[in-house]
Amino acid sequence: MSSPVLLPGATGLNGSGQQTTLGVMGGGQLGRMFVQAAQAMGYFTVVLDPDVISPAGLVSHYHIKTDYLDEQGLTQLLQRCAAVTTEFENVPAAALVTLGAARPAAPSADAVAIAQDRIKEKAHLARSGVPVAPYAVIESAAQLTAVADDLLPGILKTARLGYDGKGQVRVSSRADLVAAWDALKNVPCVLEQMLPLVAECSVIVARGWDGTCVNFAPQRNLHRAGILAVTEAFDGNLPAQLAEKAVQAAKNIAEELNYVGVLCVEFFVLQEGSPERARLGGLVVNEMAPRPHNSGHYTLDACDLSQFDLQVRTLAGLPLVQPRQHSAAVMLNLLGDLWPENLPEHAASDPAHMTARGTPRWQQVLALPGVHLHLYGKLKASKGRKMGHLTVTAATPEQARTTALAAAEILGIAPF
């Protein structure tokens, strides 16, 4: 179903005086920031997430606490909302089909189903004009045996349900590969050739019901242990030609899927002089996320429209205008590792990294210029868990980097 224009505020549905309510499947931090952007514009919000203390549920007008496939929960959601979006790609496709039949839903169940499955996803990404990493589909023992030598060393990735490096095993020999596939319980996988990366980047686009497509400039991303650690967003973060190519590829993918909503596409930049670069070119497309993305969190503080503002606009059928970045920015992810209970013993007892109350040293960090702290309201700080992020904005890339490095040192994040 395509969207009529859903204006915010108490203009009333048929003059009833009701507030226009936007719905979101999933109550994580991305849902929270969507809810906050929608509320800032005057919408009411409803979140469906089984977790009683989910980050988005805590700040939404309404929170339906049922399973994603629960019929009553989905019915309640439809009663409440005028349109619905998602905040994570593993929302069951069947739920999105139900929702999409009754209300405008963006992204569509079809687009989400493709992003949920690396095998389907690769086929789409390959049509973007930028190559994917050489890969083989592994769904049977015969396919495992038939893998070409040049895919090793490689990374075996489960076709479904992977995120933050989960569901991935690095393999360097055939024996490794067999063991890794067993460890992954022989579920459908893809084996990708390990590529020599010099950098990673991502592009966020927003596409409306009428096909209008706007974008942010590519971000440069640093991953540690498979998890995004740092995003640098400023002029000169990537070679201009490459950045242009990445934007075009991301737009092609959105167009190809007839996508509505915010879409993030991740890319690898290959090392100069490597045989892989000679064969594939400088840029390889890695994967897409059918939603706002961690690498776009800086847009909240460094751009005149954030990725969440654009998610609201695409869903509600409001005008899409090209966002403008007004500050150089560096974003640092705040993982649970930084909380005292997770620090190695020597650091945990070192007052340099935490306050007396046992939280990271927010006061010292907030004393730096241009620092924006975002915490997601999660109670348990386990290792690798995304607890929040910190964006440093500045007039120049150099200033943003210098301050971000100072913040990283205060918090115990390794320099970059």
Contact residues toward ligand ATP (CB under 6 A) are 133, 155, 157, 162-166, 168, 192, 194-195, 197, 200, 223, 226, 266, 286-287
**Minimal distance in Å, beta carbon 11 to ligand ATP?**
39
Distances (CA, A) of 345 to 338, 349, 350, 384: 12, 6, 9, 17
Which of 180, 176, 188, 193 shows the shortest CA–CA distance to 135?
193
Q: Which is nearer to ligand ATP, 105 or 228 (CB)?
A: 228
Q: Which partner in Mg ion, ligand ATP, none is near 165 (CB below 5 to 8 A by kind)? A: ligand ATP
- Amino acid 251 reads K
**Minimal distance in Å, beta carbon 415 to Mg ion?**
23
Q: Which is nearer to ligand ATP, 60 or 307 (CB)?
A: 307
Burial class (CB in 10 A: 0-12, 13-18, 19+), 160: middle
**Minimal distance in Å, beta carbon 77 to ligand ATP?**
25
**Minimal distance in Å, beta carbon 284 to ligand ATP?**
8
**Minimal distance in Å, beta carbon 87 to ligand ATP?**
14
* DSSP symbols for 298-348: THHHHBSS-HHHHHHHHHHT-------B-SEEEEEEEEGGGSGGGS-HHHH
Q: Which is nearer to ligand ATP, 227 or 406 (CB)?
A: 227
Q: Which partner in Mg ion, ligand ATP, none is near 219 (CB below 5 to 8 A by kind)? A: none
**Minimal distance in Å, beta carbon 164 to Mg ion?**
8
Instruction: In whole angstroms, give the CA distance from residue 98 to residue 93.
Output: 9
Q: Which partner in ligand ATP, Mg ion, none is near 409 (CB below 5 to 8 A by kind)? A: none
Contacts of 310 (CB under 8 A, 6+ apart): 206, 214, 262, 320, 323
Please work out the total of residues on this chain that contact Mg ion, with binding judged by CB under 5 A. Answer: 1
Instruction: In whole angstroms, give the CA distance from residue 416 to residue 394.
Output: 18
Q: Which partner in ligand ATP, Mg ion, none is near 389 (CB below 5 to 8 A by kind)? A: none
Q: Which is nearer to ligand ATP, 133 or 365 (CB)?
A: 133
**Minimal distance in Å, beta carbon 41 to ligand ATP?**
28
Q: Which partner in ligand ATP, Mg ion, none is near 7 (CB below 5 to 8 A by kind)? A: none
Q: Which partner in ligand ATP, Mg ion, none is near 133 (CB below 5 to 8 A by kind)? A: ligand ATP
Q: Which partner in Mg ion, ligand ATP, none is near 164 (CB below 5 to 8 A by kind)? A: ligand ATP
Q: Which is nearer to ligand ATP, 229 or 343 (CB)?
A: 229
Can you state the angle between helices 29-40 and 307-316, rounded to 10 degrees?
70
What residues from 242 to 271 belong to the interface with Mg ion (CB under 5 A)? Answer: 266
Give the tokens for residue 1.
């179903």
Q: Which is nearer to Mg ion, 97 or 229 (CB)?
A: 229
Q: Which partner in Mg ion, ligand ATP, none is near 49 (CB below 5 to 8 A by kind)? A: none
Tokens 């809810």 belong to 35
Which of 413, 214, 391, 400 shows the shortest CA–CA distance to 318?
214
| DSSP tag of 20 | P
Q: Which is nearer to Mg ion, 21 or 333 (CB)?
A: 333
Q: Which is nearer to Mg ion, 166 or 324 (CB)?
A: 166
Which residue number is nearest to Mg ion in terms of Cβ? 266
Distances (CA, A) of 32 to 116, 278, 334, 393: 22, 43, 16, 22
3-class secondary structure, 393: strand
**Minimal distance in Å, beta carbon 274 to ligand ATP?**
12
Give the tokens for residue 369.
């210029």
Q: Which is nearer to ligand ATP, 62 or 416 (CB)?
A: 416
**Minimal distance in Å, beta carbon 21 to ligand ATP?**
29
Contact 360, 341 (CB under 8 A): no
Q: Which partner in Mg ion, ligand ATP, none is near 163 (CB below 5 to 8 A by kind)? A: ligand ATP
3-class secondary structure, 251: helix
Contacts of 15 (CB under 8 A, 6+ apart): none
Binding site for Mg ion (CB under 5 A): 266
